[in-house]
Amino acid sequence: MAKLARIPRIWIAALAVAAAALTLAFVLLPGLVLGSPNAVPSSLAAGLSAFWDSGDGAMPPALVALIDYWREWHVIKVLLSGLLVAVSIWGVTLLVDGRYQEGTTGRDVYESQEVH
């Protein structure tokens, strides 16, 4: 019997749910953790204006806060992306390993799952 038939369906369902949850978190979590970026355009304009007007190269606090915000935003996105890639690789590995275990072909695995 092929290994794919022995993979518990709960594992496949759990990986699918994990992938969906991580995708949703990728979209929603940065805004929930860091707050709404609605003030970004106005703070960017004010920060850049103050930076250009200063002439000494020192960044104003508004611009530093904006840079910190986007750095944290990207860290959250990178961590979630890494987890999503890990879940995807794990799921593909389970499916591919089961399909090609013991020299079976995809057709053999499919036929072994038919109800008689």
Half-sphere exposure of 3 (CA within 13 A, CB side): 13
Tell me the per-residue pLDDT of 14-42, one tens digit each, with 9 for 90 and over. 999 999 999 999 999 998 998 876 666 67
| pLDDT of 1 | 42
- What does pTM read for this prediction? 0.68
Question: In whole angstroms, what is the distance from residue 81 CA to residue 87 CA?
Answer: 10
Residue among 6, 30, 8, 10 nearest 18 (CA): 10
Tell me the per-residue pLDDT of 74-98, one tens digit each, with 9 for 90 and over. 999 999 999 999 999 998 888 777 6
pLDDT category of residue 46 using cuts at 50, 70 and 90: confident
User: 66: Cβ–Cβ under 8 A, 6 or more apart, which residues?
Assistant: 40, 43, 44, 47
* Domain extent listing, the chain: 3-112
Question: In whole angstroms, what is the distance from residue 105 CA to residue 24 CA?
Answer: 35
